[in-house]
Protein backbone atom coordinates (compact mmCIF):
# COMPACT_ATOMS: atom_id res chain seq x y z
CA UNK A 1 0.00 0.00 0.00
CA UNK A 2 2.92 2.33 0.65
CA UNK A 3 3.87 2.33 -3.02
CA UNK A 4 0.46 3.60 -4.10
CA UNK A 5 0.42 6.11 -1.27
CA UNK A 6 3.74 7.52 -2.39
CA UNK A 7 2.30 8.28 -5.82
CA UNK A 8 -0.08 10.95 -4.59
CA UNK A 9 1.87 12.33 -1.67
CA UNK A 10 4.76 13.13 -4.02
CA UNK A 11 5.35 16.79 -4.81
CA UNK A 12 3.70 18.10 -7.93
CA UNK A 13 6.95 19.60 -9.20
CA UNK A 14 5.77 23.21 -9.50
CA UNK A 15 8.32 25.93 -8.74
CA UNK A 16 8.09 27.83 -5.47
CA UNK A 17 5.95 30.91 -5.87
CA UNK A 18 3.99 29.56 -8.85
CA UNK A 19 0.30 30.29 -8.82
CA UNK A 20 -2.53 28.58 -10.66
CA UNK A 21 -2.97 30.28 -14.03
CA UNK A 22 -5.85 28.13 -15.17
CA UNK A 23 -9.02 29.14 -13.36
CA UNK A 24 -12.38 27.44 -13.74
CA UNK A 25 -14.74 29.27 -16.07
CA UNK A 26 -18.46 29.00 -16.60
CA UNK A 27 -18.13 27.21 -19.94
CA UNK A 28 -16.01 24.45 -18.43
CA UNK A 29 -18.30 24.10 -15.42
CA UNK A 30 -21.29 23.90 -17.79
CA UNK A 31 -19.51 21.23 -19.83
CA UNK A 32 -18.74 19.21 -16.71
CA UNK A 33 -22.36 19.54 -15.58
CA UNK A 34 -23.57 18.15 -18.91
CA UNK A 35 -21.02 15.33 -18.59
CA UNK A 36 -22.30 14.48 -15.10
CA UNK A 37 -25.90 14.46 -16.33
CA UNK A 38 -24.90 12.10 -19.14
CA UNK A 39 -23.07 9.76 -16.76
CA UNK A 40 -25.88 9.68 -14.20
CA UNK A 41 -28.92 9.58 -16.49
CA UNK A 42 -27.46 7.80 -19.53
CA UNK A 43 -24.96 5.34 -18.02
CA UNK A 44 -25.16 2.89 -20.93
CA UNK A 45 -24.72 5.80 -23.39
CA UNK A 46 -27.74 4.59 -25.39
CA UNK A 47 -29.91 7.73 -25.27
CA UNK A 48 -27.48 10.24 -26.75
CA UNK A 49 -24.20 8.37 -27.07
CA UNK A 50 -22.24 11.54 -26.36
CA UNK A 51 -20.32 10.84 -23.14
CA UNK A 52 -16.94 10.49 -24.84
CA UNK A 53 -17.50 13.59 -26.99
CA UNK A 54 -18.56 15.69 -23.98
CA UNK A 55 -15.54 14.53 -21.98
CA UNK A 56 -13.15 15.39 -24.82
CA UNK A 57 -14.93 18.73 -25.19
CA UNK A 58 -14.17 19.55 -21.55
CA UNK A 59 -10.49 18.83 -22.17
CA UNK A 60 -10.63 21.06 -25.25
CA UNK A 61 -12.00 23.92 -23.14
CA UNK A 62 -9.18 23.49 -20.59
CA UNK A 63 -6.58 23.49 -23.37
CA UNK A 64 -8.06 26.63 -24.95
CA UNK A 65 -8.16 28.31 -21.57
CA UNK A 66 -4.48 27.58 -20.97
CA UNK A 67 -3.59 28.94 -24.42
CA UNK A 68 -5.65 32.06 -23.80
CA UNK A 69 -3.60 32.99 -20.72
CA UNK A 70 -0.35 31.98 -22.41
CA UNK A 71 0.68 29.29 -19.96
CA UNK A 72 0.85 25.53 -19.59
CA UNK A 73 -1.50 23.49 -17.43
CA UNK A 74 -0.18 22.55 -14.00
CA UNK A 75 -0.25 18.77 -13.54
CA UNK A 76 0.41 17.07 -10.22
CA UNK A 77 3.15 14.52 -10.88
CA UNK A 78 1.91 12.11 -8.23
CA UNK A 79 -1.61 12.21 -9.66
CA UNK A 80 -0.23 11.75 -13.18
CA UNK A 81 1.71 8.68 -12.00
CA UNK A 82 -1.46 7.30 -10.41
CA UNK A 83 -3.45 7.80 -13.63
CA UNK A 84 -0.73 6.19 -15.76
CA UNK A 85 -0.44 3.16 -13.48
CA UNK A 86 -4.22 2.85 -13.27
CA UNK A 87 -4.32 2.51 -17.06
CA UNK A 88 -1.07 0.57 -17.51
CA UNK A 89 -2.38 -2.53 -15.74
CA UNK A 90 -5.47 -3.02 -17.98
CA UNK A 91 -3.54 -1.97 -21.11
CA UNK A 92 -0.80 -4.51 -20.35
CA UNK A 93 -3.44 -7.20 -19.83
CA UNK A 94 -4.91 -6.43 -23.26
CA UNK A 95 -1.46 -6.77 -24.83
CA UNK A 96 -1.02 -10.07 -22.99
CA UNK A 97 -4.33 -11.28 -24.37
CA UNK A 98 -3.44 -10.23 -27.91
CA UNK A 99 -0.09 -12.04 -27.84
CA UNK A 100 -1.28 -15.16 -26.03
CA UNK A 101 -4.81 -16.42 -26.55
CA UNK A 102 -6.06 -13.43 -28.53
CA UNK A 103 -9.11 -13.78 -30.70
CA UNK A 104 -12.73 -12.77 -31.01
CA UNK A 105 -15.05 -12.13 -29.29
CA UNK A 106 -13.08 -9.70 -27.15
CA UNK A 107 -14.28 -6.67 -25.14
CA UNK A 108 -11.02 -5.31 -23.77
CA UNK A 109 -11.01 -2.03 -25.70
CA UNK A 110 -14.66 -1.42 -24.82
CA UNK A 111 -13.93 -1.88 -21.11
CA UNK A 112 -10.75 0.20 -21.26
CA UNK A 113 -12.85 3.35 -21.79
CA UNK A 114 -13.99 3.18 -18.18
CA UNK A 115 -10.39 3.12 -16.92
CA UNK A 116 -9.43 6.07 -19.13
CA UNK A 117 -12.04 8.22 -17.37
CA UNK A 118 -9.68 8.46 -14.39
CA UNK A 119 -8.02 11.25 -16.42
CA UNK A 120 -10.91 13.42 -15.21
CA UNK A 121 -8.93 13.81 -11.98
CA UNK A 122 -6.13 15.51 -13.95
CA UNK A 123 -8.63 17.86 -15.59
CA UNK A 124 -10.17 18.81 -12.25
CA UNK A 125 -6.76 19.47 -10.70
CA UNK A 126 -5.55 21.49 -13.68
CA UNK A 127 -8.68 23.66 -13.59
CA UNK A 128 -8.88 23.76 -9.76
CA UNK A 129 -12.49 22.59 -9.70
CA UNK A 130 -14.17 20.82 -6.80
CA UNK A 131 -16.81 18.83 -8.66
CA UNK A 132 -18.31 17.31 -5.53
CA UNK A 133 -21.09 19.91 -4.93
CA UNK A 134 -22.17 19.76 -8.58
CA UNK A 135 -22.14 15.95 -8.58
CA UNK A 136 -24.19 15.91 -5.37
CA UNK A 137 -26.73 18.28 -6.93
CA UNK A 138 -27.08 16.01 -9.98
CA UNK A 139 -27.54 13.04 -7.65
CA UNK A 140 -30.37 14.87 -5.87
CA UNK A 141 -32.08 15.05 -9.27
CA UNK A 142 -31.54 11.31 -9.54
CA UNK A 143 -33.08 10.79 -6.10
CA UNK A 144 -36.11 12.90 -7.00
CA UNK A 145 -36.49 10.90 -10.24
CA UNK A 146 -36.44 7.61 -8.33
CA UNK A 147 -38.97 8.73 -5.74
CA UNK A 148 -41.14 10.43 -8.39
CA UNK A 149 -41.28 7.28 -10.50
CA UNK A 150 -42.04 5.21 -7.40
CA UNK A 151 -45.04 7.36 -6.49
CA UNK A 152 -46.25 7.58 -10.11
CA UNK A 153 -46.21 3.79 -10.39
CA UNK A 154 -48.03 3.52 -7.07
CA UNK A 155 -50.81 5.82 -8.31
CA UNK A 156 -50.80 4.66 -11.95
CA UNK A 157 -49.73 1.00 -11.99
CA UNK A 158 -50.68 0.68 -15.68
CA UNK A 159 -47.56 2.67 -16.51
CA UNK A 160 -45.36 -0.16 -15.25
CA UNK A 161 -45.08 -1.99 -18.59
CA UNK A 162 -44.17 1.00 -20.83
CA UNK A 163 -41.69 2.31 -18.27
CA UNK A 164 -40.22 -1.17 -17.86
CA UNK A 165 -39.70 -1.45 -21.61
CA UNK A 166 -38.14 2.01 -21.80
CA UNK A 167 -35.75 1.25 -18.93
CA UNK A 168 -34.72 -2.06 -20.46
CA UNK A 169 -34.12 -0.51 -23.88
CA UNK A 170 -32.05 2.41 -22.61
CA UNK A 171 -30.24 0.76 -19.71
CA UNK A 172 -31.21 3.65 -17.43
CA UNK A 173 -33.33 1.80 -14.86
CA UNK A 174 -34.88 -1.56 -14.00
CA UNK A 175 -38.38 -2.00 -12.58
CA UNK A 176 -39.33 -5.05 -10.57
CA UNK A 177 -41.27 -6.29 -7.55
CA UNK A 178 -38.86 -7.88 -5.06
CA UNK A 179 -40.03 -10.31 -2.38
CA UNK A 180 -37.98 -10.17 0.82
CA UNK A 181 -39.33 -12.81 3.16
CA UNK A 182 -42.95 -11.97 2.45
CA UNK A 183 -42.28 -8.24 2.24
CA UNK A 184 -42.91 -7.24 -1.39
CA UNK A 185 -41.30 -3.96 -2.44
CA UNK A 186 -41.63 -2.10 -5.71
CA UNK A 187 -38.08 -1.71 -7.00
CA UNK A 188 -37.22 1.40 -9.01
CA UNK A 189 -33.57 0.61 -9.61
CA UNK A 190 -31.79 3.34 -11.52
CA UNK A 191 -28.45 1.82 -12.54
CA UNK A 192 -26.56 4.77 -11.07
CA UNK A 193 -28.45 4.73 -7.74
CA UNK A 194 -25.44 3.37 -5.76
CA UNK A 195 -23.79 6.74 -6.44
CA UNK A 196 -26.35 8.30 -4.08
CA UNK A 197 -23.99 7.31 -1.26
CA UNK A 198 -21.83 10.31 -2.21
CA UNK A 199 -24.73 12.78 -2.02
CA UNK A 200 -25.93 11.30 1.27
CA UNK A 201 -22.51 11.92 2.82
CA UNK A 202 -22.09 15.37 1.25
CA UNK A 203 -25.38 16.77 2.50
CA UNK A 204 -25.16 14.93 5.83
CA UNK A 205 -21.89 16.71 6.55
CA UNK A 206 -23.28 20.03 5.32
CA UNK A 207 -26.21 19.66 7.73
CA UNK A 208 -23.81 18.83 10.56
CA UNK A 209 -21.69 21.92 9.90
CA UNK A 210 -24.59 24.37 9.55
CA UNK A 211 -27.40 25.48 11.81
CA UNK A 212 -30.93 26.80 11.55
CA UNK A 213 -32.63 26.74 8.15
CA UNK A 214 -29.48 25.60 6.34
CA UNK A 215 -29.21 22.55 8.59
CA UNK A 216 -32.80 21.55 7.85
CA UNK A 217 -32.33 22.13 4.12
CA UNK A 218 -29.18 20.03 3.81
CA UNK A 219 -30.59 17.41 6.17
CA UNK A 220 -33.69 17.14 3.98
CA UNK A 221 -31.56 16.67 0.84
CA UNK A 222 -29.61 13.90 2.56
CA UNK A 223 -32.86 12.26 3.71
CA UNK A 224 -34.28 12.39 0.16
CA UNK A 225 -31.17 10.60 -1.12
CA UNK A 226 -31.45 8.01 1.67
CA UNK A 227 -35.10 7.32 0.81
CA UNK A 228 -34.35 7.08 -2.91
CA UNK A 229 -31.46 4.70 -2.33
CA UNK A 230 -33.71 2.46 -0.24
CA UNK A 231 -36.51 2.56 -2.82
CA UNK A 232 -34.01 1.51 -5.49
CA UNK A 233 -34.52 -1.87 -3.91
CA UNK A 234 -31.31 -3.88 -4.21
CA UNK A 235 -29.88 -5.41 -1.08
CA UNK A 236 -26.73 -3.34 -1.40
CA UNK A 237 -28.67 -0.11 -1.77
CA UNK A 238 -31.01 -0.80 1.12
CA UNK A 239 -28.19 -1.83 3.44
CA UNK A 240 -26.02 1.19 2.63
CA UNK A 241 -28.96 3.62 2.88
CA UNK A 242 -29.20 2.54 6.54
CA UNK A 243 -25.57 1.82 7.46
CA UNK A 244 -23.96 4.86 5.83
CA UNK A 245 -25.92 7.52 7.80
CA UNK A 246 -25.39 5.49 10.98
CA UNK A 247 -21.64 5.36 10.33
CA UNK A 248 -21.44 9.08 9.55
CA UNK A 249 -23.41 9.85 12.70
CA UNK A 250 -20.92 7.90 14.81
CA UNK A 251 -17.77 9.24 13.13
CA UNK A 252 -18.99 12.84 13.31
CA UNK A 253 -19.95 12.68 16.96
CA UNK A 254 -17.77 14.05 19.77
CA UNK A 255 -19.15 11.27 21.98
CA UNK A 256 -17.93 8.51 19.74
CA UNK A 257 -18.44 5.54 22.06
CA UNK A 258 -21.88 6.64 23.25
CA UNK A 259 -23.11 7.28 19.72
CA UNK A 260 -21.63 3.97 18.54
CA UNK A 261 -23.53 2.17 21.30
CA UNK A 262 -26.81 3.94 20.44
CA UNK A 263 -26.43 3.32 16.72
CA UNK A 264 -25.46 -0.31 17.27
CA UNK A 265 -28.48 -0.83 19.51
CA UNK A 266 -30.85 0.72 16.95
CA UNK A 267 -29.41 -1.41 14.15
CA UNK A 268 -29.74 -4.52 16.31
CA UNK A 269 -33.40 -3.67 16.99
CA UNK A 270 -34.02 -3.19 13.27
CA UNK A 271 -32.35 -6.54 12.59
CA UNK A 272 -34.55 -8.27 15.16
CA UNK A 273 -37.67 -6.58 13.80
CA UNK A 274 -36.92 -7.72 10.26
CA UNK A 275 -35.16 -10.98 11.10
CA UNK A 276 -37.33 -12.97 8.70
CA UNK A 277 -36.49 -10.67 5.81
CA UNK A 278 -32.79 -10.71 6.71
CA UNK A 279 -32.81 -14.50 6.84
CA UNK A 280 -34.32 -14.50 3.34
CA UNK A 281 -31.66 -12.08 2.12
CA UNK A 282 -28.88 -14.34 3.41
CA UNK A 283 -30.46 -17.62 2.38
CA UNK A 284 -28.01 -19.43 0.04
CA UNK A 285 -30.94 -20.96 -1.87
CA UNK A 286 -32.37 -17.52 -2.71
CA UNK A 287 -32.08 -16.82 -6.44
CA UNK A 288 -29.51 -14.06 -6.34
CA UNK A 289 -27.39 -15.77 -3.67
CA UNK A 290 -27.43 -19.08 -5.50
CA UNK A 291 -26.24 -17.31 -8.65
CA UNK A 292 -23.32 -15.81 -6.73
CA UNK A 293 -22.41 -19.27 -5.44
CA UNK A 294 -22.43 -20.59 -8.98
CA UNK A 295 -20.10 -17.77 -9.95
CA UNK A 296 -17.71 -18.80 -7.18
CA UNK A 297 -17.62 -22.30 -8.64
CA UNK A 298 -16.83 -20.81 -12.06
CA UNK A 299 -13.97 -18.78 -10.62
CA UNK A 300 -12.60 -21.86 -8.88
CA UNK A 301 -12.47 -23.55 -12.28
CA UNK A 302 -11.07 -20.53 -14.15
CA UNK A 303 -8.39 -19.66 -11.60
CA UNK A 304 -7.24 -23.25 -11.16
CA UNK A 305 -4.94 -22.58 -14.12
CA UNK A 306 -1.65 -21.32 -12.56
CA UNK A 307 -0.84 -19.08 -15.53
CA UNK A 308 -4.28 -17.51 -15.44
CA UNK A 309 -4.02 -17.05 -11.68
CA UNK A 310 -0.72 -15.17 -11.77
CA UNK A 311 -0.94 -13.37 -15.12
CA UNK A 312 -4.68 -13.19 -15.75
CA UNK A 313 -6.78 -13.87 -18.81
CA UNK A 314 -6.72 -10.23 -19.97
CA UNK A 315 -9.27 -7.44 -19.67
CA UNK A 316 -12.32 -8.26 -21.80
CA UNK A 317 -11.53 -11.96 -22.22
CA UNK A 318 -14.57 -14.21 -22.47
CA UNK A 319 -15.20 -17.20 -20.19
CA UNK A 320 -18.06 -19.62 -19.72
CA UNK A 321 -20.45 -18.67 -16.88
CA UNK A 322 -22.89 -21.18 -15.45
CA UNK A 323 -25.54 -18.60 -14.54
CA UNK A 324 -25.72 -17.47 -18.17
CA UNK A 325 -25.06 -20.89 -19.66
CA UNK A 326 -22.98 -18.92 -22.16
CA UNK A 327 -19.67 -17.16 -22.69
CA UNK A 328 -19.37 -13.55 -21.54
CA UNK A 329 -16.62 -11.04 -20.71
CA UNK A 330 -17.59 -9.86 -17.21
CA UNK A 331 -19.30 -11.11 -14.06
CA UNK A 332 -20.82 -9.40 -11.02
CA UNK A 333 -18.00 -10.32 -8.62
CA UNK A 334 -15.78 -7.32 -9.30
CA UNK A 335 -12.77 -8.16 -7.16
CA UNK A 336 -12.52 -11.73 -8.40
CA UNK A 337 -12.80 -10.21 -11.87
CA UNK A 338 -9.63 -8.25 -11.09
CA UNK A 339 -7.80 -11.53 -10.55
CA UNK A 340 -9.33 -13.15 -13.64
CA UNK A 341 -8.40 -10.15 -15.79
CA UNK A 342 -5.04 -9.09 -14.38
CA UNK A 343 -3.75 -11.98 -12.28
CA UNK A 344 -2.91 -11.81 -8.59
CA UNK A 345 -0.22 -9.13 -8.81
CA UNK A 346 -2.16 -6.89 -11.21
CA UNK A 347 -5.27 -7.27 -9.05
CA UNK A 348 -3.36 -6.30 -5.90
CA UNK A 349 -1.96 -3.25 -7.68
CA UNK A 350 -5.42 -2.11 -8.74
CA UNK A 351 -6.84 -2.80 -5.29
CA UNK A 352 -4.08 -0.71 -3.70
CA UNK A 353 -4.89 2.17 -6.04
CA UNK A 354 -8.60 1.87 -5.23
CA UNK A 355 -7.94 1.89 -1.49
CA UNK A 356 -5.52 4.81 -1.56
CA UNK A 357 -8.20 7.46 -0.71
CA UNK A 358 -9.21 5.44 2.37
CA UNK A 359 -5.59 5.08 3.51
CA UNK A 360 -4.97 8.76 2.88
CA UNK A 361 -7.97 10.03 4.84
CA UNK A 362 -7.70 7.67 7.81
CA UNK A 363 -3.96 7.13 8.09
CA UNK A 364 -1.78 9.53 6.07
CA UNK A 365 -3.76 12.74 6.59
CA UNK A 366 -6.27 12.38 9.40
CA UNK A 367 -7.06 16.08 9.27
CA UNK A 368 -8.48 15.69 5.75
CA UNK A 369 -11.80 17.60 5.79
CA UNK A 370 -13.68 15.29 3.40
CA UNK A 371 -13.37 12.05 5.32
CA UNK A 372 -17.16 11.69 5.15
CA UNK A 373 -16.90 11.45 1.34
CA UNK A 374 -14.16 8.85 1.67
CA UNK A 375 -16.45 6.85 3.97
CA UNK A 376 -19.16 6.98 1.30
CA UNK A 377 -16.58 5.94 -1.31
CA UNK A 378 -15.59 2.99 0.89
CA UNK A 379 -19.24 1.91 1.08
CA UNK A 380 -19.42 2.22 -2.71
CA UNK A 381 -16.42 -0.10 -2.99
CA UNK A 382 -18.24 -2.61 -0.79
CA UNK A 383 -21.37 -2.41 -2.95
CA UNK A 384 -19.29 -3.02 -6.06
CA UNK A 385 -18.09 -6.34 -4.66
CA UNK A 386 -21.25 -7.88 -6.12
CA UNK A 387 -22.01 -5.64 -9.10
CA UNK A 388 -19.96 -4.59 -12.14
CA UNK A 389 -20.37 -0.82 -11.65
CA UNK A 390 -16.90 0.01 -10.34
CA UNK A 391 -14.86 0.26 -13.54
CA UNK A 392 -17.44 2.28 -15.40
CA UNK A 393 -18.45 5.91 -15.76
CA UNK A 394 -20.05 5.55 -12.32
CA UNK A 395 -17.29 4.19 -10.14
CA UNK A 396 -14.37 5.85 -11.93
CA UNK A 397 -16.21 9.18 -11.88
CA UNK A 398 -16.46 8.97 -8.08
CA UNK A 399 -12.83 7.91 -7.75
CA UNK A 400 -11.66 10.76 -10.02
CA UNK A 401 -13.56 13.38 -7.99
CA UNK A 402 -12.21 11.99 -4.71
CA UNK A 403 -8.63 11.88 -6.02
CA UNK A 404 -8.79 15.41 -7.45
CA UNK A 405 -10.02 16.79 -4.13
CA UNK A 406 -7.23 14.98 -2.29
CA UNK A 407 -4.45 16.45 -4.44
CA UNK A 408 -6.09 19.90 -4.37
CA UNK A 409 -6.09 19.70 -0.58
CA UNK A 410 -2.47 18.55 -0.61
CA UNK A 411 -1.53 21.50 -2.79
CA UNK A 412 -3.31 23.95 -0.49
CA UNK A 413 -1.77 22.30 2.57
CA UNK A 414 1.72 22.52 1.04
CA UNK A 415 1.22 26.19 0.14
CA UNK A 416 -0.06 27.00 3.63
CA UNK A 417 2.92 25.36 5.35
CA UNK A 418 5.58 26.62 2.92
CA UNK A 419 7.99 29.14 4.55
CA UNK A 420 7.09 32.69 3.64
CA UNK A 421 3.54 31.80 2.54
CA UNK A 422 0.65 32.89 4.74
CA UNK A 423 -1.76 30.15 5.76
SS3 for 103-156 is CCCCCHHHHHHHHHHHHHHHHHHHHCCCCHHHHHHHHHHHHHHHHHHHHHHHHC
Task: Give 92-113 pLDDT, tens digit per residue.
Answer: 999 999 988 778 889 999 999 9
Handedness of CA 130, 135, 140, 143 (dihedral sign): negative
- Where along the chain do its domains lie? 2-417
20 touches 73 (CB < 8 A): no
Task: Give 30-46 pLDDT, tens digit per residue.
Answer: 999 999 999 999 999 99
Please count the other Cβ atoms lying within 10 Å of the Cβ belonging to residue 318.
16
Burial (CB count <10 Å: 0-12, 13-18, 19+), residue 326 = exposed
Give the confidence band of 4 by pLDDT, cuts at 50, 70, 90: very low
Percentage of the chain beyond pLDDT 90 is 61
Per-residue buried b or exposed e for 256-286, using 16+ beta carbons within 10 Å of the residue's own CB: eeebbeebeeeeeeeeeeeeebbebbeeeeb
Alpha-carbon distances, residue 339 vs 99, 203, 225, 235, 351 (angstroms):
19, 36, 34, 25, 10
DSSP notation for 36-76: HHHHHH-TTS-SS--HHHHHHHHHHHHHHHHHHTT-PPP--
Average model confidence (pLDDT) for the chain?
86
Task: Give 53-94 pLDDT, tens digit per residue.
Answer: 999 999 999 888 878 776 666 788 999 999 999 999 999 999
Per-residue pLDDT, 2: 43
Residue 322 CB partners (closer than 8 Å, separation 6+) = 294, 295, 297, 298
Task: Give 171-222 pLDDT, tens digit per residue.
Answer: 999 998 877 656 677 889 999 999 999 999 999 999 999 999 999 999 999 9
Residue 177 has phi, psi (to 5 degrees) of -115, 115
Instruction: Choose among 106, 139, 97: nearest CA to 397.
Output: 139
* pLDDT higher than 60, residue 23: no
Report the distance separating Cα 336 and Cα 297, nearest Å. 12
Task: Give 319-328 pLDDT, tens digit per residue.
Answer: 998 887 788 9
Task: Give 250-265 pLDDT, tens digit per residue.
Answer: 887 777 677 777 777 7
Torsion of CA 97, 102, 103, 108, to 10 degrees: 10
Report the distance separating Cα 90 and Cα 107, nearest Å. 12
For residue 182, what is the DSSP state? T
Lowest mean pLDDT among 148-157, 280-289, 310-319: 280-289
Report the distance separating Cα 403 and Cα 376, nearest Å. 14
344 touches 309 (CB < 8 A): yes
Task: Give 129-164 pLDDT, tens digit per residue.
Answer: 999 999 999 999 999 999 999 999 999 999 999 999
Overall average pLDDT of the 227-252 stretch: 90
Instruction: Choose among 96, 118, 116: nearest CA to 106.
Output: 96
21 touches 74 (CB < 8 A): yes
Overall average pLDDT of the 9-25 stretch: 43
Per-residue pLDDT, 280: 65
* pLDDT higher than 70, residue 423: no
Amino acid sequence: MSASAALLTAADGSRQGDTAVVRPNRLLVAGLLVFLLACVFDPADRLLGLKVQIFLGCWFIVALQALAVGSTMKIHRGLLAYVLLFNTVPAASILWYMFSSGGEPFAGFQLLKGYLLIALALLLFASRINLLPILSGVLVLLAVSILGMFFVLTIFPDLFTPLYLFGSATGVFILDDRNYGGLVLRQVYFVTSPMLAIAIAHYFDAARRNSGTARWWFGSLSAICVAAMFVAGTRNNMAVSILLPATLLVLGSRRFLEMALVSGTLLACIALLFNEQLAQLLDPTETSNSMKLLLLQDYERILSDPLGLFVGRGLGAYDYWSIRAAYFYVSELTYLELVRNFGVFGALTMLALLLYPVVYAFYLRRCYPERHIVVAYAFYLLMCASNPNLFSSMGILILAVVLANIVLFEREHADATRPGVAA
